[in-house]
Structure 1
Amino acid sequence: MDHLLPINFKPTSHVLKRAQYEAFAFSVLDGDIRVRNESHENPATHEYLVTVVNGIPATCECPADAAYEGPCKHRVAIAIRPRILELVTKVQVVADGGTRATDHYEPAESDQCECDKLDDGFPCWDCVRTGRKTLPET
């Protein structure tokens, strides 16, 4: 798992383990990520905003991030999930006036498409949602 972490991003082994096994939920908000610890008895009170800078979870609102040296478990939980970092980076590009995130979509071999089963040339919802296809003009 260490191979996924950026250089100079050195969590303790305890923090790394917690980032892997605790049940986190992630929400992308204007280029930042809200991390909610669903493992906690009261998840609503354990929700923190993590700021991502240049593809690295840079800061977190949680008390541990300020109190201890090294990244907190929320930042590490994001760092070890490259798909989340990829998504937030695309959102940041759009927010900064760059190209649409879907302009550069390249489907993976495992992507399944249902478009050929639909009538009237309409794309399937998955293709619309991911930006592979757009709805026809009416």
Structure 2
Amino acid sequence: MACTCPHHVHRNAFCKHMAAVENATDGTLDAFPSEDENDTEPADCDCEGLGGFPCWPCVRTGRKELPN
């Protein structure tokens, strides 16, 4: 584990950021989720009934974007 904060960089010490990640997760952190996760349709998707307009669950999960 590494951090870019001055405490870790200059002292090579375990910092508060590293502690927060360690305590908030089970030891794994998916900082960059795979592209495939956006392809799965949310269980509460209602895009079909909106005439081509994306439903909120799809917008919220990043599966679809709101039109301009």
The TM-score, its normalising length taken from structure 1, stands at 0.30
The TM-score, its normalising length taken from structure 2, stands at 0.46
